Amino acid sequence: MEERGNISIHTENIFPIIKKFLYSDHEIFLRELVSNAVDATQKMKRIASIGEYKGELGELKVKVAVDKEARTITISDNGIGMTAEEIKKYINQIAFSGAAEFVERFKDSGEKDQIIGQFGLGFYSAFMVADRVEIVTKSYQEGAEAAHWTCDGSTEFAIIPAHKEDRGTNVILNVAADSDEFLEKERIRTILNKYCKFLPVPVEFEGEVINNPNPIWTKQPSELTDEDYKNFYKELYPFSEAPLFWIHLNVDYPFNLTGILYFPKIKNDFELQRNKIQLYSRQVFITDEVKDVVPEFLMLLHGIIDSPDIPLNVSRSFLQADSSVKKINTYITKKVADKLNENFKKDRAGFETIWNDVNVFVKYGMLSDDKFYEKAKDFVLLQNTEGKYYTIEEYKALVQANQQNKNDQLVLLYTTDADKQHAFVEAAQSRSYDVLKLDSMIDSHFIGLLEQKLEKVTLKRVDSETIDKLIERDETKESVLSDKEKEDLKGIYEQAINNQHMIVEVAPLSPDDAPVVITMPEFMRRMKDMSKTGGGGMMFMGDMPDTYNVTVNANHPLNQRVLNTEGETKTAVARQAFDLALLSQNMLSGAALTTFVKRSFELMTKE
């Protein structure tokens, strides 16, 4: 006997609204229906395990089939099935009211783009691609009669008795004219691969099981070998280099979370490596946009997070404030820090070999998360120009005796380019100073962080001052020139250089130091760096030409010669000395270099 009825929901015509809402993400209908089928088989397994089902369980499985001729997609399972009464309750009432609620909540929301794809619409999502949906189902309960339900997405439905041998449910979608793409086998295969790859029950398509029902994150770490982790990484990212190491996440209180996070080999273009963490909920793929769920600095990691506690059906602003999301954030941060610390402690040499790959990530974490800083400060490594690694404390101890200035500040020297700044590095080494290599993009921020966190420590780039001033002592150097001679020498150089952005100063350095030294003060360069990365409200600095200090060494014999030379040669020699200083710092190029070479030949010819 056929029964017809009306689905009792208040919103009329939710179908067109939903279709419009989910326009960009129609494909999730398959995820929803396959997950329902998986749920039904898992419920069956549970019912059998507690002895409430005496019949044959069979091999629990979900099948997906496409019939292009008949224009249908069928999702079948041998799960618990439904009686006609249950269809009325679960499909007519629950599924439809869920869809109605969705429309009510989000129809005026400006955030709809963000929630699309994260909000599981459940069974109703079938109507995004089908103009008629049928359910043929038979409950596992003894003596149950099969039922056949049909609905065109409006609020009307029909149920008739049906003939079905086996327990379980077939959901048949009669694909709508505008959804032809879903009748293509390849399209269906792609969608299954995206969302269903790790569902816990075998999913068969075209005679093949398309999923891995027991992915390694659902197992205990003690059951797994390094090979297992590496193979799984390959399965996820077939084209990536092997990971450096990994963390197996596994908590069930106060929230539920499993997963594996891999440390990839990080290239400097880390922007490109984002969206490599996939979010699952009970092995169903949800999204690879895990912003807000995973701390920002951990977005560089790869892998999988699986949690039913992450609310998927809410908007982004809600997600940020959600307490389980916050706890998950804290937990992941802690696990990552602990893992790094463990690697550092267990195998210092090994840790040093991967430092190049993890340093950007660790520094990024220290900058963006205070709790991470507190843990990482004990294993973050500093590398010097000789390639040796030190922790912060080890390094402070190393330079303590020799690099304290007159104000009791420890001055840590660094280079951003050991080749270009070679003359300065060498000058520093001649005084037995140690020089750190801080040359990645993140280091300019990291330097600021160290100064802010470490007491009585300041960092200076080797070329920010002349060697005497780099680490200031109380001693004053005698000048062999009188004040009048110094004044004259300054005038000669100013005339020879003839550039208002080169500030000339005559100072008594050691006779062994270079005759002319060009430096850019640390604070000036940092402000310019900040303006380049857009921070600190220093935008205007970016447009200013570089200004340098030119220190003329009063005690160098060359400068005494400049003073004593007559005529044009005087300026030529001063200019020559200045150009040589530029040259040693890779600052001489183009026309200036050509002029320099010509002048060199002229001076040599004169001698």
Ligand X SMILES: Nc1ncnc2c1ncn2[C@@H]1O[C@H](COP(=O)(O)OP(=O)(O)OP(=O)(O)O)[C@@H](O)[C@H]1O
Residues near ligand X (CB under 6 A) are 32, 36-37, 40, 77, 79-80, 82, 90-91, 94-95, 98, 120, 122-123, 169
Q: How many CB atoms lie within 10 A of CB 271?
A: 8
Measured from the CB atom, is 200 or 303 closer to ligand X?
A: 200
**Nearest residue to ligand X, scored by beta-carbon proximity:** 122
Exposed, middle or buried: residue 213 (CB in 10 Å: 0-12, 13-18, 19+)? middle
| Distance in Å, CB of 15 to ligand X, minimum | 15
| Distance in Å, CB of 43 to ligand X, minimum | 8
| Distance in Å, CB of 313 to ligand X, minimum | 8
| Distance in Å, CB of 32 to ligand X, minimum | 6
DSSP 16-84: HHHHHHTGGGTTHHHHHHHHHHHHHHHHHHHHHHTT---S------EEEEEETTTTEEEEEE-S----H
Measured from the CB atom, is 62 or 577 closer to ligand X?
A: 62
| Distance in Å, CB of 126 to ligand X, minimum | 9
Measured from the CB atom, is 126 or 507 closer to ligand X?
A: 126
Measured from the CB atom, is 29 or 372 closer to ligand X?
A: 29
The number of CA neighbours under 13 Å toward the Cβ of 564 is 6
The two three-digit tokens of residue 588, written as one number: 């001489």
Q: If DSSP states are collapsed to H, E and C, what string results for 297-364?
A: HHHHCEEEEECCCCCCCCCHHHHHHCHHHHHHHHHHHHHHHHHHHHHHHHCHHHHHHHHHHHHHHHHH
Measured from the CB atom, is 281 or 333 closer to ligand X?
A: 281
Measured from the CB atom, is 122 or 515 closer to ligand X?
A: 122
Exposed, middle or buried: residue 408 (CB in 10 Å: 0-12, 13-18, 19+)? exposed
Do residues 574 and 492 make contact, with C-beta atoms less than 8 angstroms apart? yes
| Distance in Å, CB of 523 to ligand X, minimum | 57
Measured from the CB atom, is 25 or 426 closer to ligand X?
A: 25
Dihedral (CA of 341, 345, 346, 352) sign: positive
| Distance in Å, CB of 7 to ligand X, minimum | 13
Measured from the CB atom, is 22 or 298 closer to ligand X?
A: 22
Choose among 204, 219, 75, 55: nearest CA to 144: 55
| Distance in Å, CB of 385 to ligand X, minimum | 58
| Overall residue count recorded for the chain in this entry | 607
The number of CA neighbours under 13 Å toward the Cβ of 294 is 31
Measured from the CB atom, is 120 or 264 closer to ligand X?
A: 120
Exposed, middle or buried: residue 391 (CB in 10 Å: 0-12, 13-18, 19+)? middle
| Distance in Å, CB of 265 to ligand X, minimum | 37
